[in-house]
Amino acid sequence: MVRRVSWEQAAIGAQAPAKAKGPYELLERWLLMLAAVVLLAAGIGMRTPTPSDEPRFALVAHQMVASGNWLIPHRGTDWYSDKPPLFMALQAASFKVTGDWEIAFLLPSLLASLGTLWLVYDLGRRWWGHRAGLMAALALLCTVQFVFQAKRGQIDPTVTFLITAANAGLLRHLVLGPSRLALWAGCFAAGLAVITKGVGFLPFLILVPWWFARRLRWNGLAPTGDGAKAWAGGIVAFFAAMALWLVPLALYLNTHRSPAAQAYLDDILFNQTFHRYVHPWNSFQPPWFYLEVIATSWLPPALALPWLVPAWRTALKGKDARLLLPLAWVVIVILFFSLTRAKRDVYIMPALPMFALCSGPWLAGILERKGAQWVAIGFLLALASVTLTIGTQGLIHPSAWINRFVTARQLEPSQARVIWWSLTVVGAWLAGCAAILRLRNAGLAVLVGLGGMWIAWGVVMAPVLARASSPARLVDRVEQVVGPDSLALVAWKEEIPLGFDRQLTDFGFVTPWHEQLADAIRWLEQAPQDRWVLVQAAVMSPCVREDMTTDVGVTSGRHWRLFRLDAVRPECHGGEVPTGRAESWGDIDRLP
C-alpha cells in the first residue's frame, strides 16, 4: 500500500528539522559522499582534454607552470583575457601536487562538485533535517548537467561551488543567524567567484526576496542584530577576495605598460563582462532557451516539478522564508540570463544546487506517489530504449547519422565498436534496473541506473572519444618529418600545442590568420634550413604551394600541412601576404 501524502502534510512536515538519529545519520552522510566520489571520479586520469573548452583552459594552465607567471593567463603568445585566472591556476596547482596533467585538468571540477554536494546536504539538514538534506543532495547527484560538468575540465563546476558557498553563507546569516562568520565567508566566496568567471555578484541577488520577506514578516528569518557592522565586514571580505588577484594585477600592469596590457585590461574588465551581456557576439538563443535546458539538462529532478510546484505553493502560502529565498533566487538567476541574447546551458548551472535544495523536503513524499513512480520508471526505460537503439544499430546496421558521427569524431572502427557496445550494455543496465527494482523502488532504480551509466561514460566512452579526437597521431607524423628542427604554428587550435613536448613558436591565437601567415613567412626567412610551419590547409592559399607541402592528416576537424620556405611563392616573401581573400581569414571561427 502506497502512503498518500497531501501537500499540506508535506509542507507542515518540512517546517522543522527532524530530530537527530545519531550514528545512522552519520553513516548515511558519509555513504553519500563515498558514492559521490566513486561516481564523479570514475575515469579521472584516463583521458586528455577534448574540444572545445577543455584544451583552452588546460593550455593556459600548462603555460602557467612552464613560465611561472600565474598572474596573467596566456594562450600562446596572446594574453588570455576571456576569463580571470583562478580556475586555470587551480589546474596548474593540481599538476604541482599530482604531477599528472590527465588528473590535474579534471581535479578542480571533481573537488568543486563534491564541495557543492556537501553544501546542499548541509543546508538542507540545517533547515529541514537530515532526510531533506540527503534527498536534496541525491537529487543533485543524479542531475544530468551536474554530473556531466563534474566530469569535465571546465570552469563551471568551480564557479557553481563558489556561488553555492556564497549562497550558503548568506542564507545561514539571513535565516539561521545572525552569523557574522557565515556572512563573511559567503562574501569572500562570492569575491573568489568574481575572479573565476565574473558572476560572483549573483548570490547578492538573494537580498531581493529577503527584503520582500522581511517587509511582509515572513516566518523563519533571523533577527538583523548589528546588521550594518556585519554587512560592512562582508563587503570588506568580498573585495578582499577580488584583491588577491586585482591588486597584484594592477601593480604588474603599472610596471609593464604596453598596448597589450591595456587591451587585456579593457577586455577582461569591460568587454567580457558588461559589454558581452548587453551586446553579445555569439551563442544566440531565444528567450525561452533555459526552459528547454531545465526540461533536458536538469533531468531527472525536473520531472518532479508537477508535484513540487503545488508543494512549494503551499509552503509559500505559509510564508516559509526558508523556501522563498533560495527558490526566488533560482528564478531571478534564470531571468537574468534570459534577458541577454547570448545563452549557454551552463550559464544557469549555479542555480541548480539551490533548485535541488528546494526539492529536498518533498522528494521522499513525491516518490511514494504512484504517478511519480511511473514517471521515474518511464524516464529510465526511455533512456534505456535510446541507448539500446543507438548501440545495437551501430553494431548491426549503422545509419547515416551514425556514420556522420563516426566521421566527425574521427573514430576508428575498433573505437566505434567500443562506443556501440558500451551504449548497448548501458541500455541493458538501465532496463534491468527498472525491471528489478520496479515501481516501489523507482527512486533507487533511477539512482543506480544513472550511476552505472555515468561510470561507463567516465571509464570507457569518454576516454575512447578523447583518444579519437587527440592530436597524438598528427604530432607523431609531424615529429617524424620535422625532427630536431624548429616548428611554428599558424591558424592553430588549443589542443595542438598540448600534444607536443617541445617548445613551439606561434604568432598569436586571435591574430587574423593572414597576419599569422605573414609573420610565419618572415620567421622562416631567418633560418630557412631548419624551420617548419604547421598550418591549416585552408589557410595556405594563395601564398603556399600545396604540392611542396607535407600532408600530416586531419585532427580537430581540420586538415593540416607542413611547409618550409621553399613552398612559399616569391611574391609572398618578406611576409607580403596578398589582400583580398586573405582579409577574410581574420574570422577564426569561420572555417568548419
Question: Do 202 and 249 share a structural domain?
Answer: yes
Any domain includes 1: no
- pLDDT for the residue numbered 582: 38
Rounded average pLDDT over 86-94: 96
Any domain includes 2: no
- pLDDT for the residue numbered 266: 83
Rounded average pLDDT over 358-366: 95
* Confidence band for 18, pLDDT divided at 50, 70 and 90: very low
- Asked if pLDDT for residue 5 goes beyond 80, the answer is no
Question: Do 176 and 44 share a structural domain?
Answer: yes
Question: Do 443 and 539 share a structural domain?
Answer: no
Instruction: Give the total number of structural domains in the chain.
Output: 3
More confident residue, 224 or 443: 443
Question: Do 151 and 84 share a structural domain?
Answer: yes
Question: Do 326 and 267 share a structural domain?
Answer: yes
- Asked if pLDDT for residue 414 goes beyond 90, the answer is yes
- pLDDT for the residue numbered 38: 96
Question: Do 391 and 315 share a structural domain?
Answer: no
Any domain includes 15: no
- Asked if pLDDT for residue 533 goes beyond 60, the answer is yes
Residues spanned by the domain of 417 = 370-469
- pLDDT for the residue numbered 224: 74
Rounded mean pLDDT of the chain? 90
Instruction: Say how far apart CA 408 and CA 402 lie, in whole Å.
Output: 10
Say if CB 568 and CB 544 are below 8 A apart. Answer: yes
484 burial class (0-12, 13-18, 19+ CB within 10 angstroms)?
A: exposed
Say if CB 41 and CB 110 are below 8 A apart. Answer: yes
- Asked if pLDDT for residue 290 goes beyond 80, the answer is yes
- Closest by Cα among 436, 445, 422 to 375: 445
Whether the ω angle into residue 84 lies within 30 degrees of 0, i.e. cis, is no
- Give the distance between the most distant pair of CA atoms in the chain: 87
Question: Do 407 and 380 share a structural domain?
Answer: yes
- Percent of the chain whose predicted confidence (pLDDT) is above 70: 94
Question: Do 498 and 446 share a structural domain?
Answer: no
- Closest by Cα among 189, 191, 344, 351 to 277: 344
Instruction: Say how far apart CA 483 and CA 152 lie, in whole Å.
Output: 34
- Asked if pLDDT for residue 7 goes beyond 50, the answer is no
Instruction: Say how far apart CA 356 and CA 158 lie, in whole Å.
Output: 18
Task: Name which of 131-135, 280-284, 531-535 the model is least confident about.
Answer: 280-284
Rounded average pLDDT over 525-539: 93
More confident residue, 407 or 505: 505
Rounded average pLDDT over 89-93: 97
- pLDDT for the residue numbered 541: 82
Angle at 379 between CA 375 and CA 383, to 5 degrees: 170
- pLDDT for the residue numbered 579: 57
Given 339, 366, 393, the domain boundary residue is 366
- Asked if pLDDT for residue 571 goes beyond 60, the answer is yes
Instruction: Say how far apart CA 537 and CA 275 lie, in whole Å.
Output: 35
- pLDDT for the residue numbered 391: 95
**C-alpha radius of gyration, the chain, whole number:** 27
- pLDDT for the residue numbered 581: 43
Whether the ω angle into residue 52 lies within 30 degrees of 0, i.e. cis, is yes
* Confidence band for 12, pLDDT divided at 50, 70 and 90: very low
Any domain includes 521: yes
Length of the chain (residues): 592
Backbone angles phi, psi at 49, to 5 degrees: -60, 140
- pLDDT for the residue numbered 153: 95
- Asked if pLDDT for residue 585 goes beyond 60, the answer is no
Question: Do 231 and 380 share a structural domain?
Answer: no
**Highest-confidence segment of 91-105, 210-224, 389-403, 551-565:** 91-105
Any domain includes 592: no
Rounded average pLDDT over 510-516: 91
- pLDDT for the residue numbered 577: 80
Given 342, 366, 390, the domain boundary residue is 366
Instruction: Say how far apart CA 539 and CA 521 lie, in whole Å.
Output: 13
Question: Do 312 and 329 share a structural domain?
Answer: yes
Kindly tell me the number of DSSP H helices and DSSP E strands found in the chain.
26, 7
Rounded average pLDDT over 233-243: 96
Say if CB 207 and CB 235 are below 8 A apart. Answer: no
- Asked if pLDDT for residue 20 goes beyond 70, the answer is no
Question: Do 538 and 498 share a structural domain?
Answer: yes
Rounded average pLDDT over 483-506: 93
Backbone angles phi, psi at 301, to 5 degrees: -55, -30
Strand partners, 488: 505, 533
Rounded average pLDDT over 191-211: 94
Any domain includes 8: no
Any domain includes 16: no
Question: Do 451 and 553 share a structural domain?
Answer: no
Helices 107-128, 86-98: inter-axial angle, 10-degree rounding: 110
Given 446, 469, 492, the domain boundary residue is 469
More confident residue, 312 or 267: 312
Compute CA 29 distance to the chain's CA centroid, rounded to the nearest angstrom: 26
Any domain includes 447: yes
* Confidence band for 21, pLDDT divided at 50, 70 and 90: low
For 143-185, write each residue's pLDDT tens digit.
999 999 999 999 999 999 999 999 999 999 999 888 899 999 9
- Residues in CB range of 409: below 8 A, 6 or more apart: 465, 468, 469
Q: DSSP of 80-123, one letter per residue?
A: --SS-SHHHHHHHHHHHHHS-HHHHTTHHHHHHHHHHHHHHHHH
